[in-house]
Structure 1
Amino acid sequence: MANITSFPDESLGLAADSDVVFLMVPFPAQSHLNQLLSLSHLIRSRGFPVHYAASAIHCRQAKLRHDTLLLNTSGIIFHELPTPPFNSPPPEPYSSVKFPQHLWPSFESSLNLRQPVAALLRELSSSSVDTTTSRTRARRLVVIHDDLMNYVVQDAASVPNAESYSFSCGSTLCTFCLTCQFSGKPFPVVELDPDAIPTLDNCFTPDIASFLSIQSQYDHLKHGTLFSTCRAIEGPYLDLLAQTTHADAAVGKTKQWAVAPLFPVTPNHDKAHPTLEWLDKQPPNSVIYVSFGSSTTMSHEQINELAIGLEESKQRFLWVLRDADRVDIFNAETKILQLPEGFEERVKGVGKVTRDWAPQLGILRHPSVGGFMSHCGWNSCLESLTMGVPLATWPMHSDQPHNALLMTHILKVGVQVMGWGERDELVTSSAIKKSIENLMASNEGHAVRTRAEELSKVIKQSVDDDNWELNSFLTYATRSIN
């Protein structure tokens, strides 16, 4: 049985005022952990008991890195699921494959979570009454699981009072593109040349493609899908995907909800941090924020080219320079990535390099930030658009190439650092310099910033309207069934 992390006034029992309980089962990767924890908080804030189940390492990581002050983890019960030991190798900056293959041991090990999750399902879904506390167990257990954990939660289908819903952490555009590829159907998005659309083969490794295939075999067991997106951003692709899946007899009329953004969209009294203090001293919209997420590793040569491009652009910048996460972030040597000799001294007063975990949402929310050079992880794209910050796109792997196309070619809220067709080439300092100048100091940059700001208003309005889609999901998931 899983270990439970809770506060003294909590137990496995449910709150007396609710007979519907939610169980979150995230995939063991940083952005996935973070998004389901954010969703856990929103559901908990509406009065429902919420349980969050992952390995001990990943429960700890999710809580440590969640930078939302509104998150009150004392209202969420964490279950530390037993997992077999797995390797935690260092990233490989010179690998010919950009996908973070060093994380594969953790991904593969997640398949072993089926049995402990099944035991937790049985415990939480029990219909008996605890006579010692007078607490009634769940009338319904609502399981929200990452769509990469379909295999792990498959036993929810055999629990009479349980319903499972998948949670998609990536862009709907990417999901739709891959769905078209799998089915062999034509791709109907006129803004994109079909030949330019990234494919499963060039975005993922064979191991991951096989892993995705395993998950897809259990997709029919879910009752619906939550998408980490907003209709203001991806409405057309949500509709297209709904038409595609509803036409599939195996899937049937599964329901879908677009529940993002999951983070606070207004100023949230961000914690004091050296990066934010430095930004306080910079003019409005003058700084380009440079960060490539938790799974990206660059070669020494590429870091040098990026440093030179930033310096020669003459633009203010804030650069988060970190090595990629290992599987176990708590038991790994910190690798100091080297910069060109004298670089930090030469850019002092104009640029800042930080090697620590940075409060990205607070940075993007800061009025001094006018652009974001990004790997285009979906969470980064959502945060940037919600805060009205345009992007300089530099995708690395997975759904990132699709996200980059969405930003630059469809929504037109970004400029391109490199196209996916040049993914195997060194990105030169001159190309980097040009993209920064385009974003921060040109008419093109002004136009994409204006569009980003306009889109931000629409996204924030969806939250001001009481996050209708999330409430719609909660109403449906907690409904009475005769």
Structure 2
Amino acid sequence: MATIQHHNDTIVVMVPFPAQGHLNQLHHLARLIAAYNLPIHVITTTVHSRQAKTRIPISNDNIVFHDYPTPHFPSPPPDPTSTIKFPTQLIPSFKSSMHLRQPFNDLLSTLSVTAKRVVVIHDYLMGPVVQDVVNYDNTETFSFTCCSAFASLWYLYDATGRPKLDNELELLLKEVPSNDDCMSLDGAQFVASTYVSQEKFSSGTIYDASRAIERKFIDVLEQEGHEDDKRLWALGPFNPTEVTNKSRDERDELFDWLDKQEPNSVLYVSFGTTTSISNEQIQEIAFGLEKSEQKFIWVLRDADKGDIFEGEARNIELPKGFKDRVGERGLVVVDWVSQLEILGHPSTGGFMSHCGWNSCMESMTMGVPVVAWPMHSDQPRNAMLLTKVLNVGIYVRDWPQRNELVSSRVVEEVVRRLMVEEEGVEIRQRAEELSCKVRQSMVDGGVTRLELDSFVAHITR
């Protein structure tokens, strides 16, 4: 890691949004920037700070966490039967995080007197919390966008009709999934309510995107939205590219089992922290996995509540006798797992995923092809990037079929296509080639490392 002299001249303040997929990215970015010996302060609500530390343990002397209690908010369970899969149950917790405006101000007024420059990196949904940065002369602010450059480009196009598309993009536009049902009405209203014109205070935008993966789309965004010396920084992947087994002092059952399997023989099934699946669909997935006769690890957790430490977890029932029939061939896990370590394990050969951007980045980093099953938000567009643009995945269910029950027969067929058939071998090879490119981008002299060096040089200039 290139080291830059310790500047107490520059202090970095990070303001993540409280959903797990957002928290995860800024925590990992904190780790990357702290490696340059810069002091970093992360500000969150008390409950989300605890959530982040439980799930993404980061110990680094350069990172200080500040958490503040916010007014109590309701934490209802997710609704597995809802046709729109957006995690409406989390909105009260999202709203509560807007109470960080005053604590953020207090922290900034303390830090801005001790440093030559304070650099604020905030999730774009936290605009209302950081809007007072304009009152501090020595503060520079960067907004962080947590989705792919590909999804961002089409959001920009939806909103403005720009940029003018070249032939390649024109062809892609015909296949870009609609935004219909990607968000619930109250979800869309919440996002709209967080819009604070960042033109006033933002010096640029940071993406968890990599030029090794999305160069074309990053270039277009850069030309389009970043005149007036506003820069775009593609610093991804934020997640580690090498898996260390440090987090398992006691070798647990799951990894003991994985160690015994053949290379690329296990399908990992997980739909992230915000998806709640109906009982009926769970039965179909179970029968499909059983009939595919492939090895699998299935993380069967319900979606997060606003406060993950409160209330009872849903009891999810599998088909009668399922575990006995599957026997040693599959594991069903109901706890939080280290997804990156599972994806990085040589035995893992496929990933059935909702295509949240963290999961996409982790699968591409680790060279694991995806069986795409998008659920909400940016996931339909991420799924298209993986399956139709990069060719490192196949669909189990495309967005136009989102309201249909996916039958066990479809699950079985798609699993076999990826894990057994020649098509799967070719997709896996492309996934491994992409993984090599991504990892090379992160070593000294690699495209992402150079961009990270340049970003740190820019904020410590």
**Shorter-normalised TM-score: what interval?**
over 0.9
| Partner of residue 319, structure 2 | 340
1:142-188: CA deviation from partner (whole Å, max 9, x where unpaired): 00111111221111122100011011111111111011000023655
Alpha-carbon distance change, 192 to 369 in structure 1, aligned in 2, over 3 angstroms: farther
- 1:164 pairs with 2:152: no
1:151/1:218 contact within 8 Å kept: no
Report deviation, 1:84.
1.7
> What do residues 346-400 of structure 1 show as CA deviations (whole Å, max 9, x unaligned)?
1111111111101111100000000000000100110111111000000000111
User: What is the CA distance between 1:190 and its match in structure 2?
Assistant: 3.7
1:44 Cα offset (Å): 1.6
1:16-415 equivalence runs, <5 A: 18-66=8-56, 71-126=58-113, 137-185=114-162, 188=166, 189-190=168-169, 193-220=172-199, 221-246=201-226, 252-270=228-246, 271=248, 272-415=251-394
Kindly provide the CA deviation profile for residues 395-419 of structure 1, in whole angstroms up to 9, marking residues without a partner as x. 0001110000000000000011000
**Is the aligned partner of 1:474 residue 2:456?**
yes
Whether the 8 Å contact between 1:157 and 1:164 is mirrored in structure 2 is no
> How many percent identity over aligned positions?
47
Deviation at 1:192, TM superposition (A): 5.1
- Superposed displacement of residue 123, structure 1: 1.4
Gaps of 5+ in 2: none
Deviations 1:326-360 (A, max 9, x none): 01111121222110000011111111111110111
Q: Distance in 1 between matches of 2:197 and 2:128?
A: 6
**SS, match of residue 143 in structure 2:** strand
Residue 193 of structure 1, CA deviation:
4.8
Residue 130 of structure 1: aligned partner: none
Aligned to 2:403: 424
Residue 315 of structure 1 deviates from its aligned partner by: 0.6
**Residues of 1 paired with 2:226 and 2:32: CA distance?**
29
Paired letter, 1:175: S
Q: Is the 8 A contact 1:306 1:429 kept in 2?
A: yes
CA distance in structure 2 between the partners assigned to 1:198 and 1:113 by the alignment: 35
2: CA distance, partners of 1:299 / 1:368: 29
Q: Does 1:449 align with 2:439?
A: no
In structure 2, C-alpha distance between the alignment counterparts of 1:358 and 1:226, rounded to whole Å? 28
Kept after mapping to 1: 8 A contact 2:243/2:340: no
- Look up the match of 1:11: none
Matches of 1:403 and 1:465 in 2, distance apart? 28
C-alpha RMSD over aligned residues:
1.7
Give the equivalent residue in structure 2 for 1:437.
Answer: 416
Cα distance in 2 for partners of 1:157, 1:106 equals 27
| Cα deviation digits, residues 194-226 of structure 1 (max 9, x gap) | 354233443122233233334443221211111
- What SS class does the counterpart of residue 352 from structure 1 fall into? strand
Question: 1:50 Cα shift?
Answer: 0.7
CA contact (8 A) 2:38 2:62 kept: no
Query: Which sections of structure 1, spanning at least 5 residues, go unmatched?
Result: 1-14, 127-136
SS of the equivalent of 1:153 reads helix
Moved more, 34-43 or 415-424: 34-43
Q: How big is the shift at 1:40?
A: 1.1
Letter in 2 for 1:138: A
Question: 2:204 touches 2:226 (CA, 8 Å); kept in 1?
Answer: no
Q: Which amino acid counterpart does residue 288 of structure 2 have in structure 1?
A: G
Tell whether the 8 Å contact from 1:374 to 1:395 is kept in structure 2 after alignment: yes
Q: Which moved more, 1:378-387 or 1:198-207?
A: 198-207
Residues 43, 65 of structure 2: 8 Å contact kept: yes
Distance 1:165 1:246 in 2: 13
The number of equivalent residue pairs is 448
Is residue 313–residue 434 contact of structure 1 (8 Å, CA) maintained in 2? yes
Distance 1:201 1:138 in 2: 46
C-alpha contact 1:141 1:163 (8 A) present in aligned 2? yes
Partners in 1 of 2:80 and 2:423 — Cα distance? Answer: 33
Is contact 1:200-1:209 (8 Å) kept? no
* TM-score calculated relative to the size of structure 1: 0.89
Does the 8 A contact of 1:286 with 1:316 survive in 2?
Answer: yes
Deviation of 1:243 after TM superposition, in Å, equals 1.9
Tell me if structure 2 keeps the 8 A contact 1:191–1:409: no
Q: How far 1:18 sits from its partner (Å)? A: 1.9
- Note closer, same or farther for the CA distance 1:16–1:309 as it changes in structure 2 (3 Å cut): closer
Q: Tell me, what secondary structure is at the counterpart of 1:177?
A: helix
Q: TM-score, normalised by structure 2?
A: 0.93
SS of match in other structure, 1:236: helix
Q: Distance in 2 between matches of 1:254 and 1:337?
A: 48
Could you tell me whether the CA contact under 8 Å between 1:141 and 1:161 is conserved in 2?
Answer: yes
8 Å contact from structure 2 (residues 9, 460) kept in 1: no
Please tell me whether the aligned partners of residues 372 and 383 of structure 2 are also in contact (alpha carbons under 8 angstroms).
Answer: yes
CA shift, 1:441, in A, is 1.0
C-alpha displacement at 1:268, in angstroms?
Answer: 1.2
Of the structure 1 ranges 402-411 and 425-434, higher mean CA displacement relative to structure 2 is found in 425-434
